[in-house]
Amino acid sequence: MNRGNSLGQHNRAPCTLGNMARIADVNITPSDNGPYLVSGAVCLADVDGHEVPHGEYMALCRCGGSKNKPFCDGMHAAVAFDGTLKK
Ligand code: FES
């Protein structure tokens, strides 16, 4: 069954925190050559829309090497991830 729309997006159950938080209350900061550091009232969901439990603060992998995706497990250091954002 194709549950996606014309934009390739899936129809997902609404996030349980979606209406409780404003994006202004959420901080997402890329760390030097490491994960995105996220804080605030965020609902994290998998590709099927199921909520992924997490703490108040979380580090999300952006190197692709974590064995605990979507969370960072420190592998970015072992793979010498270059996440340079500065020009
Ligand atoms: S950013 Fe840390 S494991 Fe990927």
pLDDT at 75: 98
Q: How far is the CA of 6 from the centre of ligand 1 (A)?
A: 32
41-79 pLDDT, tens digit each: 888 888 888 889 999 899 999 999 999 999 999 999 999
- Residue 13 reports pLDDT greater than 60: no
Ligand 1 surroundings by CB, under 6 angstroms: 34-35, 61-63, 65-66, 72-76
Domain ranges of the chain: 1-76
pLDDT value of position 43: 85
pLDDT band of 21, cuts 50, 70, 90: low
| Mutation choice for ligand 1 from 28, 32, 37, 61, CB with most ligand atoms inside 8 A | 61
0.85 exceeded by pTM: no
Buried (b) or exposed (e) across 37-70, using 16+ Cβ within 10 A?
ebeeebebbeeeeeeeeeeeebbbbbbebbeeeb
Place 16 in a pLDDT band, splitting at 50, 70 and 90: low
Report CA(55)–ligand 1 centroid distance (Å).
Answer: 17
